[in-house]
Amino acid sequence: MKKICTITLLAASVLFLVNCSNKTGKAIASKSGSHADTVAYTPEQLHEGMTLYQGSCQQCHKLHDPAEFTTGKWNRILGSMIPRTQLSESNAMVVRAYVLANAKKD
């Protein structure tokens, strides 16, 4: 539980800082899944997220196409799966960004 609270607090802090910057990129739903909270990721970050998704997730199971599920479903899946990985916070965030950017829209 403490780890989840720490991750949530860190993600919220990063989201705040990223929203204050002048980056351009595709808007992605945040960890909360709210469309009001968006973060801009560059194409390079999304590509890094794809690489990490493919390399990390398939170590344990078959990969799902991000378009297979909605952003809401992916938020639930990633919320339970990311804590099981060895990904750093920044790597976890770009994986989430990649998956949500390519997910079926709610």
pLDDT of residue 34: 39
Q: What pTM does this model have?
A: 0.65
Q: Which residues 6+ apart lie within 8 Å of 52 measured at CB?
A: 87, 91, 94, 95, 98
Residue 66 DSSP class: G
Domain residue ranges of the chain, discontinuous segments joined by +: 2-101
Angstrom CA distances, 85 to 26, 33, 48, 55, stand at 25, 21, 16, 12
Strands (E), the chain: 26-29, 38-41
**Which of the residue ranges 17-21, 22-26, 45-49, 64-68 would you say has the lowest mean pLDDT?**
22-26
Provide the pLDDT for residue 1: 72
Give the pLDDT of residue 10: 57
Question: Among residues 63, 64, 57, 70, which one has the least CA distance to residue 103?
Answer: 70
* Torsion angle of C-alpha atoms 8, 9, 11, 14, degrees rounded to 10: 170
